[in-house]
């Protein structure tokens, strides 16, 4: 596979994952805010803004309308829903020949549908609906990708992009919530419930732990459950699996550089213990996992994508 094509597939997938995550956070927030006091809702919106844009404090934090505009439709926001979709589509267009017709058309249709939407136009009735519908279409896109694309190297680059992005997004979300738990602004029961919903984890969690919502159990579930698709452990497993499948013909030395890092990450997650983390160590643990993902990203690029010709000739 051409290195440039791998690069575009990887980023296309990262941006789709980012868009999906963004749409879900906005949808859940818009749906749940009515059940919160204005103060709680504002604190919760601030956590969403921080996790999606990195902005620690935002002048927008009191106004759901302005925040939604910024997170969903602001093209000057590098991480907005529409920016992510637009970048995903730009990448897809560059590798049109490596995608199936269905994958391209689903993505293209979704983008064309959202491109003209403004926050004013959705605010009149159930603003969350647009984001729920977008999520449905993104799930359809995921299914179409799964069932129409050969599960070869290209598909594994999509997997890599998806799960590296997911670990980063999940990590940031958990980090913010568990850091807040150590401060005076402790998240309430409802906030923990919303956190589960941010990760589509509410029902799977209750199946495992019943409806008793406890931060320690949430951490255990979202970090270490190997079966739930939006857990760190699950994504790390997919990631290590995908790393073993890409660049099959690369020289062993370059493969080893990547696989060593993947092995280390998997070990960290497989042998992590939630009891050890709960006394303030969750943030440090997540910081470590995130850093390891960044190293994997770099190694992936220098081994398979941007390597200099002099290293092989």
Partner 1 sequence: MQHEVFANTEDFGGPDIVAGTGRVSKPGVDAPYANYELGKPFDEMFAPDGQARAPYAAIDSRVSSLPLEELNRRQQAVEQSFLHQGITFTVYNDNQATERIIPTDLLPRIVTAREWDRIERGLTQRIHALNLFLRDIYNDGRVLKDGVIPRSMIYGSKHYRREMRGIPVPHGAYVNICGSDLIRNEAGDFVVLEDNLRVPSGVSYMLANRDVARRAFPAVFRSMGVRPIEHYPLELLATLRSLTPFHEDVSIAILTPGVFNSAYFEHAFLARQMGVELVEGRDLLINDNVVYTRTTSGLKRIDVIYRRIDDDFIDPLIFREDSALGVPGLFNAYRAGNVMIANALGTGVADDKAVYAYVPRLIRYYLAEEPILDNVETFLCREEKSLQHVLGNLDKLVVKAVGESGGYGMLIGPHASQKEREDFAEKIRADPENYIAQPTIQLSTAPTFVGNGIEARHVDLRPFILHGAETKLVPGALTRVALKRGSLVVNSSQGGGSKDTWVLSQ
Binding site for partner 1 (CB under 8 A): 1-4, 6, 90, 93-94, 96-97, 101, 104-105, 108-109, 112, 153, 246-251, 304-305, 307, 309, 312-313
DSSP codes of every residue in 145-188: HHHHS-SSHHHHHHHHHHHHHHHHHHHHHHHHHHHHHTSSS---
Q: How far is the CB of 165 from partner 1 (least distance, A)?
A: 19
Instruction: Scan for tokens 């799960």, then name that residue.
Output: 163
Q: How far is the CB of 115 from partner 1 (least distance, A)?
A: 10
Q: How far is the CB of 75 from partner 1 (least distance, A)?
A: 12
DSSP codes of every residue in 96-161: GGGS-HHHHHHHHHHHHHHTT--HHHHHSS-THHHHHHHHHHHHHHHHHHHHHS-SSHHHHHHHHH
CA distances from 111 to 19, 52, 106, 155 (A): 11, 20, 9, 21
- b/e map 140-165, b = 16+ CB within 10 Å: ebbebbeeebeeebbbbbbbbbbbbb
Residues, the chain, total?
Answer: 313
- b/e map 300-312, b = 16+ CB within 10 Å: bbebbbeeeeeee
Q: How far is the CB of 71 from partner 1 (least distance, A)?
A: 24
Give CA 228 to chain center in angstroms. 14
Which CB, 1 or 222, lies closer to partner 1?
A: 1
Q: How far is the CB of 83 from partner 1 (least distance, A)?
A: 15
Q: How far is the CB of 219 from partner 1 (least distance, A)?
A: 36
In 3D space, the residue among 211, 224, 223 whose CA is nearest the CA of residue 175 turns out to be 223
Task: Evaluate whether 29 touches 61 at the Cβ level (below 8 Å).
Answer: no
Which CB, 105 or 136, lies closer to partner 1?
A: 105
Q: How far is the CB of 181 from partner 1 (least distance, A)?
A: 42
Q: How far is the CB of 166 from partner 1 (least distance, A)?
A: 22
In the 8-state DSSP scheme, what is residue 1?
-
How many C-beta neighbours within 10 Å does residue 189 have? Answer: 10
Which CB, 96 or 151, lies closer to partner 1?
A: 96
Residues in CB range of 96: below 8 A, 6 or more apart: 104
Which CB, 160 or 223, lies closer to partner 1?
A: 160
Which CB, 154 or 187, lies closer to partner 1?
A: 154
Which CB, 154 or 215, lies closer to partner 1?
A: 154
Which CB, 132 or 254, lies closer to partner 1?
A: 254
Which CB, 121 or 311, lies closer to partner 1?
A: 311
């Amino acid at each position: 596979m051409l290195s440039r094509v791998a690069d575009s597939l990887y980023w296309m997938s990262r941006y789709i994952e980012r868009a999906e995550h963004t749409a879900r956070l906005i949808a859940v927030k818009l749906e749940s805010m009515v059940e919160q006091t204005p103060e709680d809702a504002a604190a919760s919106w601030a956590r969403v803004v921080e996790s999606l844009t990195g902005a620690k404090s935002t002048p927008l934090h009191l106004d759901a309308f302005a925040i939604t505009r910024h997170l969903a439709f602001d093209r000057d926001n590098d991480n907005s829903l529409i920016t992510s979709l637009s970048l995903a589509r730009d990448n897809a267009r560059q590798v049109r020949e490596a995608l199936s017709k269905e994958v391209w058309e689903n993505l293209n249709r979704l983008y064309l549908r959202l491109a003209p939407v403004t926050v004013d136009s959705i605010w009149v009735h159930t603003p969350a609906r647009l984001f729920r519908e977008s999520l449905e279409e993104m799930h359809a896109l995921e299914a179409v990708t799964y069932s129409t694309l050969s599960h070869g190297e290209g598909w594994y680059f999509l997997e890599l992009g998806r799960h590296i992005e997911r670990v980063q997004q999940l990590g940031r979300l958990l980090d913010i919530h568990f850091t807040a738990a150590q401060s005076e602004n402790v998240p309430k029961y409802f906030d923990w419930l919303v956190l589960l919903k941010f990760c589509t984890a509410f029902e799977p969690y209750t199946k495992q732990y019943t409806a008793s919502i406890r931060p320690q159990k949430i951490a255990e579930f979202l970090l270490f459950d190997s079966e739930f698709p939006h857990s760190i452990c699950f994504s790390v497993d997919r990631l290590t699996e995908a790393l073993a499948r890409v660049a099959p013909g690369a020289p062993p030395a370059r493969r080893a550089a990547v696989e060593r890092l993947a092995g280390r990450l998997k070990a960290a997650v497989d042998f992590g213990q939630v009891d050890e983390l709960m006394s303030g160590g969750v943030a440090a643990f997540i910081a470590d996992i995130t850093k390891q993902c960044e190293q994997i990203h770099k190694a992936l690029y220098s081994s398979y994508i941007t390597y200099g010709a002099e290293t092989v000739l």
